[in-house]
Amino acid sequence: MADNETLNPISIGLDDGYAFTKIALPDGRLIAIPSWARIGRSNITWLNASAPRVFEYETDDTRFAVGEVDGEPTHFDGYPFSGLNRAIVQHALHEAGLAGQSVHAVSGLPVSSYYLEDGAQRLELIERKRASLKQTVQPSDGRLPAAIAFHEVIPEALAAWYDHVICEANGGVQLEAERLGAPVAVIDIGGRTTDFVVVAGEAVRHDSSGSLRCGLLDLKRQVAAAIRARFDLEELSEQATEEAVRTGVVRLFGKSHDVADQVRAARRELVERLHAETERQLGRGAELERILFVGGGALALADDIQDWFSNQAIAPHPAFANARGMLKYLRYVCQEPA
C-alpha cells in the first residue's frame, strides 16, 4: 500500500467550513458532511453495528467524536488550525472513501484571514493552516487514516472564481477567455463568514474585497435562542435546530411545534446585514460584468437575494463552488510535488 500511496495520491478540493465540510473529487463526486464534533468519546453503543453514525478520531493526544453529535462551536478564530477541524476533515475524507490513501489537497481561509488590508498575505496564518491538516489523525476503530501529504491554501471566495473561469468538458480543460478578463465579484455566503472578492484583469481588487463575520450559523444560533426562550429550554440539539431552520417546525415534548415566525425573524435580520455589507462593498455593481453568489447561504437564501443586482447569478451547485475551484486550482494552477 505504501508504494500505491506514494505513486498515486488523490487530488481533492477541500472546503472545510464552519458549518459544513465539502470535498470535490477528480471523478466528479461531491461530498458534504456537517462540521459537527466534540472532544471526548461518543458514549454511544449502536444496536445495529452496521450503521454507526458517530465515529471517534485521535489527534494531538485528544479524542474527538464526529458525526451525529451535539458539536462544539466551530465559530472561533482558531478553528482552521484546531484538532476539532482535523478530526472533522478526517471523517469527511473517510466518507469520501479515502481511508488509507495519500491525499493532495487545496483548502481555504476567509479573505480577511488570508490577506491584510493592503493585499499582503498573512503568511503565518496560511502556514499554520497548511501545516495543521498535514498532522496525523488516527481513527479509533482500526481503520486506516487518510494522510494529507501535500496541502495548499487559497482565499475561499477566490476559489469560486477559479471554478468560474476554468471549464472542464469532454475530458479536457480550457480557460473561459471572456470570463478571465471580465470584472467579476464573488459573494460567498458561508457558515461563519461572508466573503467578497472582486477580480478584474486577473487581479484581486482589495478595496472591494473582504469578509463580514456573519453567515448561516448566525441564523441557526438566533433560531435556537428563540426556541429555547419560548419553551424555557436550557439546550437545543444541533439536529433539532437544523430541522427547525429547514422546516419551520421543531419537535419537543413529543409534539411538533410551529416555529416559522422565529425562523423568519432570524432570516430577515441576517439578510438585512448581508445586504447592507454587500452594498457597502460593491455599490450597485454597475461596472462589474457578473456578480456571482456562492456558498451554502446562496442556496439557503436564494429567494431573499434574487433581486439584489441586475447582473447577478447563483453558481451551479453553489455550496460546492469553492471545493470545485480548489480542485481545479490544484490540478491546473498549483505546482504539486512530482
What does the pLDDT look like over 255-278, one tens digit per residue?
999 999 999 999 999 999 999 999
| Nearest of 128, 113, 148, 140 to residue 13 by alpha carbon | 148
Is pLDDT above 90 for 251?
yes
Res 6: pLDDT: 47
17 falls within a domain:
yes
For the record, the C-alpha cell of 113 comes out as 484571514
Q: What is the pLDDT of residues 8-59, one digit of tens each?
A: 899 999 999 999 999 999 999 999 999 999 998 776 665 565 567 889 999 9
Q: Is residue 250 part of a domain?
A: no
User: What is the total count of domains within the chain?
Assistant: 1
Give the mean pLDDT of 75-84: 94
Does any domain span residue 275? no
Q: What would the grid cell of residue 203 be? A: 487581479
Rg of the chain over all Cα atoms, to the nearest angstrom: 20
| Structural domain includes residue 283 | no
pLDDT of residue 5: 45
Q: Are 258 and 249 in contact (CB under 8 A)?
A: yes
In a domain, 313, yes or no: no
Q: Where are the alpha helices (DSSP H) in the chain?
A: 2-7, 83-95, 111-114, 123-132, 156-165, 177-180, 216-231, 238-247, 260-282, 296-300, 302-305, 321-332
Task: Please state the rounded mean pLDDT for residues 165-181.
Answer: 81
Burial class (CB in 10 A: 0-12, 13-18, 19+), 99: middle
pTM for the model stands at 0.91
Judged on CB neighbours under 10 Å (0-12, 13-18, 19+), 5 is: middle
Angle between the N-to-C axes of helices 216-231 and 260-282, in degrees from 0 to 180, rounded to the nearest 10: 150
Strand partners, 148: 103
Q: Which domain holds residue 326?
A: 2-168+319-332
* pLDDT the model gives residue 4: 41
Mean pLDDT of 310-337: 92
- Spatial separation of the C-alpha atoms in residues 252 and 236, rounded to whole Å: 10
Tell me, yes or no, whether 195 lies in a domain. Answer: no
* pLDDT confidence tier of residue 189, bands split at 50, 70 and 90: very high
pLDDT tens sequence across 83-127: 999 999 999 999 999 999 999 999 999 999 999 988 999 999 999
Under the banding of pLDDT at 50, 70 and 90, the label for residue 2 is very low
Q: How confident is the model at residue 179 (pLDDT cuts 50, 70, 90)?
A: confident
For residue 66, is it within any domain? yes
What is the predicted pLDDT for the residue at 338? Answer: 56
What is the distance between the alpha carbons of residues 228 and 225, in angstroms, rounded to a whole number?
A: 5
- Other beta carbons less than 10 A from residue 169's beta carbon: 7
CATH number at residue 61: 3.30.420.40
Contact indicator for 90, 67 with CB cutoff of 8 Å: no
Query: Percent of the chain at pLDDT above 90?
Result: 81
In a domain, 79, yes or no: yes
Of 29-38, 71-80, 136-145, 219-228, the range with the lowest mean pLDDT is 71-80
The packing angle between helices 156-165 and 321-332, to 10°, is 70
Which of the four pLDDT bands, split at 50, 70 and 90, describes residue 337?
Answer: low
Q: Which range has the worst mean pLDDT, 2-6, 114-118, 186-190? A: 2-6
